Structure formats: C-alpha cells, structure tokens
Amino acid sequence: MNIVSLIDHAILHPTAGETDLETGCRLAAELGVASVCVKPYMVKQATEFLTDSPVAVGTVIGFPHGGNTTIVKSAEAEQACIDGAVELDMVVNVGRVLAEDWEYVQADIAAVQVIAQSHHALLKVIFETDYLTDSHIVELCKLCSDLQVDFIKTSTGFGYTKRETGDYNYSGATIQHIQLMLDNVSGVVQVKASGGIRTYQDAITLAEMGVTRLGTSASQAIAEGGAGESY
C-alpha cells in the first residue's frame, strides 16, 4: 500500500484561507490521500474542489479545545454533514476527561456519533494526549470501544501546553501513546496518529505499528520522501 493513501491532509492552520484551501485540495487530489480535513466553513468549497476526486472531505468538531457544549457539537456535526463532510474529527471535552466524568464524556461522544451515523459519516475521536495521563487514555480507549466509533486519534496538532521553561510546545503523536491506544481498543475501532508527523519515516513507523490514518499537513514531504517505495 502507498503510505500516502493513509493521509488525512490537514488544512487547519488558523491563517489558512481560500487560496490555501484550493491549493491543498489540488495537492490532495494529485497525491491521492485518503481525505482532506478542513475548517468547518470550508467544507462546501472543499467538496466542490474535490467533486471529481476520490479524496474524501472531512472536518473538525469542537476544535481545538473540545469545550463546546454537546448540543453545539451535535449542531456543528449536522451542519458539516449537510455541507458535504463524510468524516468528522471530534475533540473530547478535555476538562471532563481530566475530572474523570466518564458519563459526560461518553454521552458527548455518543451524541455526535448519532449524527455521524445518520449521515453515513466516519467519526474520529480526538483525545489530545498531551494533556492526559496513561490512565485517562486507557479509559477513553475502553469508552470508545464500547461505542464502537470508527477511529480514535491522538491530537489536534494545536494542543500547546506551557512547559517548565515558560514556552509553549506540544508532543503530538508519540510512539508510547500510539502503542497504548493500539493495545486498548477493540472491535472495529482504528487508530489515527496526528501531530508532529513530518517525514516519510515518521509515517512508515506509525503504519507498521498498526495506525491506519495519519493526520498531517506535510503530505507532499512524506510523498517525496517515499517516492517509488511502498510497504
């Protein structure tokens, strides 16, 4: 399989506008990635750009902090599907996860899952692993396995945390967290790695672990790094 076919090409930077969207969609179609993941207001236009392409259109829900109320996330998901999105990357309510309010977290995810399923869209649940302990990640894996969501996902790529040095940074998809997620999901649930995936070797390493989707904006660099190769 061509590693590029696992990529969800991200067009999510805060400054990304219509020119970036058109360029990104054209690149996605040329490379043959799995999907583009765009900001919600871009879904209609992305769908138009990719009308004659097998590349799917996805968007984000409750992005990037997950703090929207459940009813807002549900409405956002409904509108995204109406606009043409067939993949939804939803951020969990991180505050509720840290409080271990698992009933709330499960209901929040389930509400968006109902919308996704009613439109035959995939649901990917973003954990934002930078903020979580291993025990939180394991519990989320179990919860998402109970719900049988389509994917669990490491990061938004925007989960910057303040470090002891005073600067802000993030780790994104780490080998440790990916393995933990792979070890603790069951059924149809797949794992998507996102955050910090910049090279062909990064992508291959994760795919060989069992990851089936890769969220990145470095699609071209990954494609060029693996030109003529497959696994």
Q: What is the mean pLDDT of residues 167-172?
A: 71
44: tokens are: 């209609």
CB neighbours (10 Å) of residue 29?
17
pLDDT at 166 over 80: no
Helix, strand, or coil (residue 206): helix
* Furthest CA-CA distance within the chain: 49
Q: What is the mean pLDDT of residues 144-170?
A: 83
Specify whether 153 is catalytic.
Answer: yes
List the catalytic residue out of 39, 73, 124, 153. Answer: 153
List the catalytic residue out of 39, 73, 89, 108. Answer: 89
What is the Cα 153 distance to its own chain's centre? 5
Q: What is the mean pLDDT of residues 191-202?
A: 94
Q: What is the mean pLDDT of residues 117-121?
A: 98
The model scores a pTM over 0.85: yes
pLDDT at 118 over 60: yes
Specify whether 130 is catalytic.
Answer: no
pLDDT, greater one: 163 or 205: 205
For 195, counting Cβ atoms within 10 Å of its Cβ (0-12 exposed, 13-18 middle, 19+ buried), the class is buried
Q: What is the mean pLDDT of residues 151-157?
A: 95
CATH homologous superfamily of 3-225 equals: Aldolase class I (3.20.20.70)
With vertex at residue 112, the alpha carbon angle to CA 81 and CA 150, rounded to the nearest 5 degrees, is 85
Question: What's residue 231's pLDDT?
Answer: 42
Question: What's residue 41's pLDDT?
Answer: 98
Specify whether 162 is catalytic.
Answer: no
Q: Do 121 and 92 meet the contact criterion of CB atoms below 8 Å apart?
A: no
- Reference 80, options 107, 136, 135, 118; nearest CA is 118
For 20, counting Cβ atoms within 10 Å of its Cβ (0-12 exposed, 13-18 middle, 19+ buried), the class is middle
Q: What percent of the chain has pLDDT over 90?
A: 88
Classify the C-alpha dihedral 29-35-38-43 as positive or negative: positive
pLDDT band of residue 159 (cuts 50, 70, 90) is confident
